[in-house]
Chains A and B, each alone.
Chain A
Amino acid sequence: MVLCMSVLGLALAAMAFGAATRPERAAQQPAAQPQLAKPHARFFVEPVAQPRIPIDALLAQIENHVRLEHAAAESFLEYPTSALLHSKTSSPFVN
């Protein structure tokens, strides 16, 4: 009889312990999410995976950027204002 009561008590204690600790485990899961840090991993991986534009096209883009910056600077020199000094261009390097 004593043995049965002991086994029953142990079983109830185990169930109570399980019930008490279950919410804690669930609560721990959201806290663990930041540790995954997947956005950081993708930050480094994705640019490499993107197709590169040919070097000639890239050089043409650089030259176009220089021309646009040159023209913007000339506009500023013709009529020097803060707004013209910092005017935006359509260059893909700054947009």
Chain B
Amino acid sequence: MINPTPDLLMGLDAAQTREFLALGKRLLLSSGAQLFRLGEPAETLYVVQRGRVRLTLPMQVRGSDEEVMVEERIPGQTVGWSALTPPYRFTLTASVPLESEVLSLSREALRAHFEANPAVGQIVALNLAAVVGERLQLFQAMWLREMQRTVELHGA
């Protein structure tokens, strides 16, 4: 499944979208491949084109570190926005559970493009804020649900 309008590009016209996508490089990933690891320098933003990307965090399960899925990204969605926000380090590990394709966009290429096209930069920045805000709200709700259960278990 290919999504023609990535969430990061909502609001751009056809020419702006074409120019933006031309900045990227297509990466074909085989099943099980890792896109990036937790803690690595984040230089590249990815837009999922095909397949799926699993975002995981390490969790101690029976005394050993296990990668536990916290989120899954589908075509059209953005992965790795740590590349655009300091301190430019990935805060999750990304891998693909099946053969997938992503568009990789380097921070330097994006900066240069936004400097030359401020209107595009503004739209993309607002779209990025929506992506970040959505995740913040989602995990805020998940955190509160866990807190509620903790209170019910220990605070009653």
A residues apposed to B, CB below 8 Å: 55, 58-59, 62-63, 66-67, 69-70, 72-74, 76-77, 85-86, 94
Contacts and interface: CB of A to CB of B under 8 A. Distances in A.
A73 B66 contact: no
Nearest 4 A-B pairs (CB), nearest first? A73-B141, A73-B142, A76-B141, A73-B138
B138 A62 contact: no
Given A59-B61, A69-B145, A73-B145, 4 more contacts: A62-B61, A77-B137, A77-B138, A86-B145
Contacts, number: 42
Interface string B28-72: 000000000000000000000000000000010110001011110
Interface residues of B, number: 19
Contacts of A77: 134, 137-138, 141
A71 to B, nearest CB: 10
B141 A62 contact: no
B148 interface: yes
Interface centre among B59, B68, B148 (most CB of A within 10 A): B68
A36 to B, nearest CB: 28
Contacts of A62: 59, 61, 68
Interface string B126-156: 0000000010011101101110110000000
